[in-house]
C-alpha cells in the first residue's frame, strides 16, 4: 500500500465541500489541521473529524489544532474552557516551581480531554521558544519564560499532560523563535546570534525535550547556521542542528507554508521543506489552488518518516491515563489562585 502524502492540509469551513472531498481522496494527505473557521459546536467538530478520516479511509489519520491557551486557542467558550497563556505558568514557577509544573501538566491534561472528545489527536503545543527582550510579540506570552531551564521544565510538564490525555504534543518552533524581531507570518526573521549563544539558550529546551513525539520548525534564518535559508528549508539546520546537535528524533513538521517568511510558489516551498529534511509539510489556509500546488510538490511519506509517525501514534495510545475532568479543573483553579 502506498504511504500517505507527506502533507497536512486545512480546509475552508465547518464541513467538507464536495470539491475538498474529491481533492483529499485523490491526494491522500497524512492528516488535517483545524482552525476557528472550522469550529462551531462539539457535535459539528466530531462530525467533521469523522468525515475527514472517512474521506481518506484512515481511522488513525492525525488531526491537528493549535490549542495553546491565551491568544492562541481555536476552541473557545461557551463550548470549551478558556486556558491561560503559557506565561501564566512561568510567573507561577517563580513563586513555587513544583506547583507551577503540576498546574502546567493539569492545564494540558484538560486541553487534551477537550480535544480527544472531538477526535483531535495532535495539539501544536507547547511553545518552547525563549523570548529575548525586544523580540517581536508574535511569541510573547505564548512562551513560558525567558529562562531556558524553566521553559524546559514547564514544557516537559505540558508534554506529559497532553500525552496522558491521548493527544500528541508538537513542540515548537524548533530550533527556536524567541530571538525573532519580526513576525514570520509577514516576513522572514533573521537572527544574527552566534551558534554558541543559540546553543546555550534557544536550543536548550528543545534538547531537553528531544524525545518529544512531534516538533514544528521555525521559519527563521539563523545567519550563523545557514546565511541563505530559513531553518525549515535548510539541510544544514535540520540535519546538523535539529537532528544533530539537538538530537530530535521524532516527527518534524514544517510551520505553515502560507507564511510570508518563505519565498517561491507553493510547489517550490513544499519541495524545499521536504528536500531539507522535514517529514511533513503543513498548509493551513484551505485555499484549493494553493493546496493543489502543495500536493504537486509533496511526495509520499518517506519510510523513516512513516516509522516516526507510527511510533508517535503508539506512544499516544499507550500514554492515556484515567482522569476526572471536574476534579482536574478544580485543582488547577486552586493552584493558579495560590500563584
pLDDT in tens, 168-212: 999 999 999 999 877 788 889 899 999 999 999 999 999 999 999
pLDDT in tens, 21-71: 999 999 999 999 999 999 999 999 999 999 999 999 999 999 999 999 999
The catalytically annotated residue of 66, 255, 256, 279 is: 255
Ordered by start, the domain boundaries in the chain are: 5-338
Q: How far is CA 285 from CA 163, 181, 241, 291, 339, in A?
A: 27, 25, 29, 8, 38
Instruction: Kindly report the number of other CB atoms within 10 A of residue 153's CB atom.
Output: 22
Tell me how far apart the alpha carbons of residues 147 and 131 are, in angstroms, rounded to a whole number.
9
Q: Which CATH code fits 5-338?
A: 3.20.20.300
Residues 319/121, Cβ–Cβ less than 8 Å: no
Buried b (16+ CB within 10 A) or exposed e, 259-291: bebbeeebbebbbbbbebbbbbbbbbbbeeebb
pLDDT in tens, 251-304: 999 999 999 889 999 999 999 999 999 999 999 999 999 999 999 999 999 999
- The model's pTM is 0.96
Judged by phi (left if over 0) then psi (alpha if -120 to 50, else beta), residue 268 lies in alpha
185 flagged as catalytic: yes
28 flagged as catalytic: no
The catalytically annotated residue of 19, 43, 185, 265 is: 185
pLDDT at 1: 57
Cell reading at 227:
546565511
The fraction of the chain above a pLDDT of 70, given in percent, is 100
Tell me how far apart the alpha carbons of residues 212 and 246 are, in angstroms, rounded to a whole number.
12
pLDDT in tens, 212-231: 999 999 999 999 999 999 99
Amino acid at each position: 500500500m502506498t504511504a500517505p502524502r507527506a502533507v497536512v492540509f486545512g480546509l475552508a469551513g465547518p464541513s467538507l465541500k464536495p470539491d475538498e472531498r474529491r481533492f483529499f481522496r485523490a491526494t491522500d494527505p497524512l492528516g488535517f489541521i483545524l482552525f476557528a473557521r472550522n469550529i462551531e459546536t462539539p457535535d459539528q467538530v466530531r462530525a467533521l473529524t469523522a468525515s475527514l478520516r472517512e474521506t481518506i479511509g484512515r481511522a488513525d489519520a492525525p488531526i491537528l489544532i493549535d490549542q495553546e491557551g491565551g491568544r492562541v486557542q481555536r476552541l473557545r467558550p461557551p463550548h470549551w474552557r478558556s486556558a491561560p497563556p503559557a506565561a501564566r505558568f512561568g510567573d507561577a514557577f517563580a513563586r513555587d516551581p513544583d506547583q507551577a509544573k503540576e498546574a502546567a501538566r493539569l492545564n494540558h491534561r484538560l486541553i487534551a480531554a477537550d480535544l480527544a472528545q472531538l477526535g483531535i489527536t495532535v495539539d501544536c503545543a507547547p511553545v518552547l521558544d525563549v523570548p529575548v527582550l525586544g523580540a517581536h510579540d508574535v511569541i510573547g506570552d505564548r512562551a513560558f519564560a525567558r529562562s531556558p531551564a524553566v521553559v524546559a521544565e514547564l514544557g516537559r510538564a505540558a508534554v506529559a499532560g497532553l500525552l496522558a490525555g491521548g493527544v500528541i504534543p508538537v513542540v515548537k518552533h524548533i530550533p527556536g523563535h524567541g530571538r525573532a524581531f519580526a513576525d514570520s507570518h509577514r516576513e522572514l526573521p533573521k537572527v544574527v546570534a552566534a551558534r554558541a549563544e543559540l546553543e546555550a539558550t534557544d536550543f536548550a529546551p528543545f534538547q531537553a525535550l528531544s524525545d518529544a513525539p512531534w516538533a514544528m520548525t521555525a521559519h527563521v534564518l539563523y545567519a550563523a547556521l545557514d546565511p541563505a535559508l530559513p531553518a525549515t528549508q535548510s539541510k544544514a539546520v535540520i540535519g546538523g542542528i535539529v537532528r544533530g546537535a539537538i538530537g530530535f528524533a521524532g516527527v518534524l513538521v514544517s510551520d505553515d507554508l502560507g507564511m510570508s517568511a518563505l519565498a517561491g510558489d507553493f510547489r517550490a516551498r513544499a519541495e524545499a521543506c521536504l528536500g531539507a529534511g522535514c517529514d511533513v509539510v503543513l498548509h493551513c489556509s484551505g485555499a484549493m489552488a494553493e493546496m493543489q500546488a502543495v500536493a504537486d510538490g509533496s511526495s509520499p511519506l518517506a519510510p523513516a518518516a512513516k516509522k516516526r509517525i507510527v511510533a508517535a501514534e503508539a506512544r499516544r495510545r499507550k500514554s492515556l491515563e484515567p482522569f476526572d475532568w471536574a476534579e482536574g479543573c478544580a485543582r488547577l483553579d486552586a493552584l493558579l489562585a495560590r500563584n
